[in-house]
Structure 1
Amino acid sequence: MRDFDQMGIVVDWVDACRKGDLATLLDLYADDAQVECSCNGTQRYRGRRELETYWGPRLSTFSSAGFGLEEINPVPHGIDLEYSIAGALRIHASFRFSSEGKIYRTLCAPARQTPHDGCAC
Protein backbone atom coordinates (compact mmCIF):
# COMPACT_ATOMS: atom_id res chain seq x y z
CA MET A 1 0.00 0.00 0.00
CA ARG A 2 1.29 3.44 -0.88
CA ASP A 3 1.57 6.10 1.76
CA PHE A 4 -1.11 8.80 1.51
CA ASP A 5 -3.01 11.07 3.88
CA GLN A 6 -6.43 9.49 4.46
CA MET A 7 -7.45 12.27 6.83
CA GLY A 8 -6.49 14.89 4.23
CA ILE A 9 -8.62 13.15 1.60
CA VAL A 10 -11.64 13.23 3.91
CA VAL A 11 -11.00 16.90 4.71
CA ASP A 12 -10.95 17.56 0.93
CA TRP A 13 -14.25 15.60 0.73
CA VAL A 14 -15.74 17.85 3.44
CA ASP A 15 -14.54 20.98 1.60
CA ALA A 16 -16.08 19.77 -1.68
CA CYS A 17 -19.38 19.10 0.10
CA ARG A 18 -19.39 22.55 1.72
CA LYS A 19 -18.75 24.21 -1.65
CA GLY A 20 -21.19 22.00 -3.56
CA ASP A 21 -18.31 21.04 -5.88
CA LEU A 22 -19.48 17.79 -7.51
CA ALA A 23 -16.50 17.42 -9.88
CA THR A 24 -13.95 17.68 -7.07
CA LEU A 25 -15.96 15.32 -4.88
CA LEU A 26 -16.18 12.68 -7.62
CA ASP A 27 -12.44 12.99 -8.33
CA LEU A 28 -11.74 11.86 -4.76
CA TYR A 29 -13.39 8.51 -5.51
CA ALA A 30 -11.89 5.53 -7.36
CA ASP A 31 -13.52 4.78 -10.73
CA ASP A 32 -15.27 1.70 -9.32
CA ALA A 33 -16.05 3.22 -5.89
CA GLN A 34 -19.19 2.36 -4.01
CA VAL A 35 -21.44 4.40 -1.73
CA GLU A 36 -23.79 2.51 0.54
CA CYS A 37 -26.35 4.80 2.15
CA SER A 38 -28.68 3.65 4.92
CA CYS A 39 -30.23 7.05 5.61
CA ASN A 40 -33.55 6.26 3.86
CA GLY A 41 -33.41 2.50 3.43
CA THR A 42 -30.24 0.89 2.16
CA GLN A 43 -29.20 2.02 -1.31
CA ARG A 44 -25.97 1.24 -3.17
CA TYR A 45 -24.29 3.25 -5.88
CA ARG A 46 -21.21 2.10 -7.82
CA GLY A 47 -19.02 3.88 -10.33
CA ARG A 48 -18.74 7.53 -11.25
CA ARG A 49 -22.08 7.81 -13.05
CA GLU A 50 -24.10 6.36 -10.15
CA LEU A 51 -22.13 8.39 -7.61
CA GLU A 52 -22.91 11.52 -9.62
CA THR A 53 -26.62 10.60 -9.51
CA TYR A 54 -26.38 10.09 -5.74
CA TRP A 55 -24.27 13.13 -4.83
CA GLY A 56 -25.62 15.76 -7.24
CA PRO A 57 -28.89 16.56 -5.44
CA ARG A 58 -27.36 16.10 -1.99
CA LEU A 59 -24.59 18.63 -2.60
CA SER A 60 -27.07 21.34 -3.52
CA THR A 61 -28.92 20.60 -0.27
CA PHE A 62 -25.69 20.65 1.73
CA SER A 63 -24.56 23.99 0.32
CA SER A 64 -27.95 25.67 0.82
CA ALA A 65 -28.82 24.16 4.23
CA GLY A 66 -25.32 24.21 5.69
CA PHE A 67 -22.81 21.40 6.13
CA GLY A 68 -20.95 21.05 9.41
CA LEU A 69 -18.05 18.86 10.46
CA GLU A 70 -18.83 17.33 13.85
CA GLU A 71 -16.15 14.64 14.32
CA ILE A 72 -13.40 13.04 12.25
CA ASN A 73 -11.39 10.07 13.50
CA PRO A 74 -8.92 7.57 12.09
CA VAL A 75 -10.03 3.95 12.48
CA PRO A 76 -8.09 0.74 11.72
CA HIS A 77 -9.08 0.56 8.04
CA GLY A 78 -9.92 4.16 7.14
CA ILE A 79 -11.59 7.28 8.51
CA ASP A 80 -14.91 7.78 10.30
CA LEU A 81 -16.66 11.11 9.97
CA GLU A 82 -19.73 12.62 11.55
CA TYR A 83 -21.27 15.65 9.88
CA SER A 84 -24.42 17.68 10.27
CA ILE A 85 -26.81 19.21 7.79
CA ALA A 86 -28.58 22.45 8.72
CA GLY A 87 -26.93 22.22 12.14
CA ALA A 88 -29.26 19.41 13.20
CA LEU A 89 -29.40 16.23 11.14
CA ARG A 90 -26.26 14.21 11.92
CA ILE A 91 -24.82 11.63 9.55
CA HIS A 92 -22.07 9.07 10.24
CA ALA A 93 -19.86 8.16 7.26
CA SER A 94 -17.07 5.59 7.09
CA PHE A 95 -14.45 5.91 4.35
CA ARG A 96 -12.23 3.15 2.99
CA PHE A 97 -9.41 3.78 0.53
CA SER A 98 -7.72 2.16 -2.45
CA SER A 99 -3.96 1.68 -2.53
CA GLU A 100 -3.85 4.61 -5.00
CA GLY A 101 -5.23 7.00 -2.37
CA LYS A 102 -8.80 7.22 -3.66
CA ILE A 103 -11.99 6.59 -1.72
CA TYR A 104 -13.25 3.17 -2.78
CA ARG A 105 -16.12 2.80 -0.31
CA THR A 106 -18.28 5.12 1.73
CA LEU A 107 -20.87 3.81 4.16
CA CYS A 108 -23.29 6.34 5.60
CA ALA A 109 -26.14 6.14 8.09
CA PRO A 110 -27.94 8.48 10.46
CA ALA A 111 -25.87 9.20 13.55
CA ARG A 112 -27.25 9.50 17.02
CA GLN A 113 -29.22 12.72 16.95
CA THR A 114 -28.76 15.26 19.71
CA PRO A 115 -31.37 17.92 20.50
CA HIS A 116 -30.44 21.57 20.15
CA ASP A 117 -29.38 23.22 23.38
CA GLY A 118 -32.28 25.21 24.71
CA CYS A 119 -34.73 23.82 22.15
CA ALA A 120 -38.31 24.33 23.25
CA CYS A 121 -39.70 21.65 20.96
Structure 2
Amino acid sequence: MRDFDQMGIVVDWVDACRKGDLVALLDLYADDAELECTCNGTRLYRGRSELESYWGPKLSAFASVGFGLEEIHPAQNGVDLEYSIAGALRIRASFRFSAEGKIHSTLCEPAQQGSHDCGAC
Protein backbone atom coordinates (compact mmCIF):
# COMPACT_ATOMS: atom_id res chain seq x y z
CA MET A 1 0.00 0.00 0.00
CA ARG A 2 1.37 3.40 -0.96
CA ASP A 3 1.55 6.08 1.71
CA PHE A 4 0.62 8.90 -0.66
CA ASP A 5 -2.63 9.92 -2.33
CA GLN A 6 -2.40 8.88 -5.99
CA MET A 7 -5.82 10.37 -6.80
CA GLY A 8 -4.79 13.63 -5.11
CA ILE A 9 -1.66 13.83 -7.27
CA VAL A 10 -3.74 13.42 -10.43
CA VAL A 11 -6.19 16.08 -9.22
CA ASP A 12 -3.17 18.38 -8.69
CA TRP A 13 -2.09 17.48 -12.25
CA VAL A 14 -5.54 18.51 -13.55
CA ASP A 15 -5.37 21.77 -11.58
CA ALA A 16 -1.92 22.58 -13.01
CA CYS A 17 -3.23 21.92 -16.53
CA ARG A 18 -6.26 24.15 -15.98
CA LYS A 19 -4.08 26.97 -14.65
CA GLY A 20 -1.44 26.55 -17.35
CA ASP A 21 1.18 26.15 -14.59
CA LEU A 22 4.06 24.33 -16.27
CA VAL A 23 6.35 24.40 -13.22
CA ALA A 24 3.70 22.92 -10.93
CA LEU A 25 2.89 20.27 -13.53
CA LEU A 26 6.52 19.26 -14.01
CA ASP A 27 7.08 19.14 -10.24
CA LEU A 28 4.50 16.32 -10.05
CA TYR A 29 6.73 14.11 -12.22
CA ALA A 30 9.74 12.07 -11.09
CA ASP A 31 13.08 13.21 -12.54
CA ASP A 32 13.22 10.08 -14.74
CA ALA A 33 9.53 10.14 -15.69
CA GLU A 34 8.30 8.98 -19.07
CA LEU A 35 5.28 10.10 -21.06
CA GLU A 36 4.09 8.04 -24.01
CA CYS A 37 1.61 9.78 -26.30
CA THR A 38 -0.20 7.77 -28.97
CA CYS A 39 -2.47 10.57 -30.20
CA ASN A 40 -0.52 11.42 -33.36
CA GLY A 41 1.64 8.35 -33.75
CA THR A 42 3.57 6.99 -30.81
CA ARG A 43 6.06 9.34 -29.18
CA LEU A 44 8.01 8.86 -25.96
CA TYR A 45 9.27 11.73 -23.81
CA ARG A 46 11.76 11.16 -20.99
CA GLY A 47 12.98 13.42 -18.22
CA ARG A 48 12.04 16.93 -17.22
CA SER A 49 13.38 18.76 -20.28
CA GLU A 50 11.50 16.54 -22.76
CA LEU A 51 8.34 16.74 -20.66
CA GLU A 52 8.72 20.52 -20.61
CA SER A 53 9.01 20.66 -24.41
CA TYR A 54 5.91 18.45 -24.68
CA TRP A 55 3.70 20.19 -22.11
CA GLY A 56 4.67 23.85 -22.65
CA PRO A 57 2.73 24.41 -25.89
CA LYS A 58 -0.15 22.18 -24.78
CA LEU A 59 -0.79 24.10 -21.57
CA SER A 60 -1.07 27.33 -23.54
CA ALA A 61 -3.67 25.71 -25.79
CA PHE A 62 -5.59 24.30 -22.81
CA ALA A 63 -5.84 27.76 -21.25
CA SER A 64 -7.38 29.26 -24.38
CA VAL A 65 -9.86 26.48 -25.26
CA GLY A 66 -10.69 24.95 -21.89
CA PHE A 67 -9.65 21.79 -20.06
CA GLY A 68 -12.26 19.62 -18.33
CA LEU A 69 -12.14 16.63 -16.03
CA GLU A 70 -14.48 13.91 -17.33
CA GLU A 71 -13.62 10.79 -15.32
CA ILE A 72 -11.04 9.77 -12.75
CA HIS A 73 -10.72 6.43 -11.03
CA PRO A 74 -8.18 4.15 -9.37
CA ALA A 75 -6.60 1.56 -11.64
CA GLN A 76 -4.27 -1.35 -11.05
CA ASN A 77 -0.98 0.25 -9.97
CA GLY A 78 -2.16 3.82 -10.54
CA VAL A 79 -4.93 6.15 -11.69
CA ASP A 80 -6.81 6.47 -14.97
CA LEU A 81 -8.13 9.84 -16.07
CA GLU A 82 -10.26 11.05 -18.95
CA TYR A 83 -10.25 14.75 -19.75
CA SER A 84 -11.69 16.96 -22.45
CA ILE A 85 -10.29 19.79 -24.51
CA ALA A 86 -12.66 22.53 -25.69
CA GLY A 87 -15.57 20.64 -24.13
CA ALA A 88 -15.57 17.86 -26.71
CA LEU A 89 -12.21 16.31 -27.56
CA ARG A 90 -11.58 13.52 -25.04
CA ILE A 91 -8.19 12.17 -23.99
CA ARG A 92 -7.47 9.16 -21.77
CA ALA A 93 -4.37 9.24 -19.56
CA SER A 94 -3.03 6.48 -17.32
CA PHE A 95 -0.68 7.44 -14.49
CA ARG A 96 1.78 5.21 -12.63
CA PHE A 97 3.79 6.41 -9.64
CA SER A 98 7.23 6.13 -8.10
CA ALA A 99 7.71 4.99 -4.51
CA GLU A 100 8.40 8.65 -3.66
CA GLY A 101 4.91 9.73 -4.71
CA LYS A 102 5.77 11.28 -8.06
CA ILE A 103 4.32 10.46 -11.47
CA HIS A 104 6.70 7.92 -12.98
CA SER A 105 4.89 7.23 -16.23
CA THR A 106 1.94 8.53 -18.20
CA LEU A 107 0.30 7.03 -21.25
CA CYS A 108 -2.10 9.28 -23.17
CA GLU A 109 -4.33 8.26 -26.05
CA PRO A 110 -7.49 9.44 -27.78
CA ALA A 111 -10.70 8.39 -26.02
CA GLN A 112 -13.88 7.86 -28.05
CA GLN A 113 -12.35 9.62 -31.05
CA GLY A 114 -12.71 6.85 -33.60
CA SER A 115 -10.04 7.27 -36.25
CA HIS A 116 -9.40 10.97 -35.57
CA ASP A 117 -6.08 12.18 -34.28
CA CYS A 118 -6.62 14.08 -31.08
CA GLY A 119 -3.86 16.61 -31.79
CA ALA A 120 -4.13 18.04 -28.29
CA CYS A 121 -2.09 15.61 -26.29
Deviation at 1:65, TM superposition (A): 0.5
The answer as to whether partners of 1:97 and 1:104 remain within 8 angstroms in 2 is yes
Gaps of 5+ in 1: 115-121
TM-score, reference length from structure 2: 0.92
Cα deviation digits, residues 17-59 of structure 1 (max 9, x gap): 0000000000000000000000111000000000000000000
Aligned residue for 2:90? 90
The equivalent residue for 1:34 is: 34
1:19-98 paired onto structure 2 within 5 Å:
19-98=19-98
Match of 2:15 in 1: 15
TM-score (norm. length: structure 1):
0.92
Matched residue SS, 1:13: helix
Give the distance between the partners of 1:26 and 1:60, measured in 2 at CA: 15
CA apart distance, 1:2: 4.5
Fraction of identical pairs, as percent? 78
Structure 2 SS opposite 1:9? helix
What CA RMSD, in Å, does the superposition of the two structures yield over aligned residues?
A: 1.2
With 105-114 and 95-104 compared, the bigger mean Cα shift is at: 105-114
Secondary structure, counterpart of 1:104 in structure 2? strand
Give, in angstroms, the shift of residue 76 of structure 1. Answer: 1.4
1:3 aligns with 2:3: yes
Q: Alpha-carbon deviation of 1:113?
A: 3.8
For 2:6, give the aligned amino acid.
Q
The runs of 4+ residues in structure 1 deviating greater than 3 Å are none
Show the counterpart of 1:100.
100
